[in-house]
Chain A
Amino acid sequence: MNTQYKKGVLELCVLSLLKRRDRYGYEISEYLSRHIDIADGTVYPILRKLKSDGLVDTYLQEESGGPPRKYYSLTQLGRNIYRNDKEEYLDFAKAIETLLEEDEDDQK
């Protein structure tokens, strides 16, 4: 799949994962690469961009038997943007779906 196209959707996926609860970077990377065909390393640039845009925040949390983990959490701005973008994406996806299915009708 086109990577440029995928990137925008991946941002939405990351926001969705963070909406449910705070997670650390590896957790997000694992979850996404299990469900979507992407290189493991692409999640970290996205997290960084979301942070520099003020959509997520980070904090360090001690873990038993290991170095502290960097957790990501949604900011209020992140929440608002996620709600907005999700709706936009679902409308868009529905429209594309209808459009793509029309050519099957034509062939009949």
Chain B
Amino acid sequence: MTKNEYLSRLGSELKKNHVADWEDIAGEYEQHFAFKLADGFSEEEIAAKLGSPETIAAQFASEKGEGGQGSGSRVFVTAAMSFVALFEGMAYLLFFAWAVAVSAFSLASAGIGAALIGNFNTAGLIPEMPYLSALIFGVCFLAFAVFLAAGSYYFFVYAKQIVKASIRWHRNVTSGNTLPPLPWNPQFSAKTGRRLRTVLLWSVTVFGTSFILGMVVSQLLAGALGFWHAWNWFVR
């Protein structure tokens, strides 16, 4: 086995055994090779004398288990963690419910926007107004729907990441495994993050401008500041 073969096999065995800072350990073996090579040994000889990467990795894996918690405290930890999980679960459920509520709100806004632009008024739910106003307010509602949709996507990803991080944390605490902890905030690729920011920024901008434009146009068309009075919106 050459030096590189040995080191890469050792690295992958250490990872397989969930040994923390395996890179540090591999570095130590790399130095061992360097010293031995300087003394005139061949890479094959050195690798053979070191012992197989599987055996070495197993020794590192068994070291971390020793001096750990006894079975008594493990039972206690598991019980305590289940108790924590109960409350965590409720909080996460609430978070998911919030994300669902935001997406429902987004769908409702999209519906109103479409009805305004399409100029159909089911059961007289939408107050009367000239089509120009309806068009501008329709755009306004659609932009709001896009904003909420992007928001709910963000919340869903956030909630999912929290649950994943929490599961990893629970596993590490109860089983004594030392997998690296996962981040608790949503992880977007740079591209997705940029897109999400662009969508949010544009939807807010379109929402704001079309809202103000709609108000002004409606006031001009009605010839009154309170155009809703002129159009008898709140009179039954």
Chain A interface (Cβ < 8 Å from any Cβ of B) = 25-26, 29-30, 33, 39-42, 44-45, 48-49, 52-53, 66-67, 69-70
Contact = CB atoms under 8 A, between A and B. Distances in A.
Contacts of A30: 35
Nearest to A26: B35
B60 A26 contact: no
Size bracket, chain B contacts: 10 to 19
Given A26-B35, A52-B63, A52-B64, A44 B28 contact: yes
B22 to A, nearest CB: 11
Report whether over half of chain A's contact residues are helix, strand or loop; otherwise say mixed.
Answer: helix
Nearest to B57: A45
B191 interface: no
B51 A44 contact: no
Given A41-B29, A45-B59, 18 more contacts: A25-B32, A26-B31, A39-B51, A39-B56, A40-B49, A40-B50, A41-B32, A41-B49, A41-B55, A41-B56, A42-B51, A42-B59, A44-B25, A45-B63, A48-B60, A52-B63, A52-B67, A69-B31
Contacts, number: 53
Contacts of B31: 25-26, 67, 69-70
Contacts of B59: 42, 45
Contacts of B64: 52
Interface of B: 25, 28-29, 31-32, 34-35, 46, 49-51, 55-56, 59-60, 63-64, 66-67
B49 to A, nearest CB: 5
B49 A39 contact: yes
B124 to A, nearest CB: 75
Contacts of B25: 44, 48
A29 B34 CA distance: 14
Contacts of B35: 26, 30
Contacts of A41: 29, 32, 49-51, 55-56
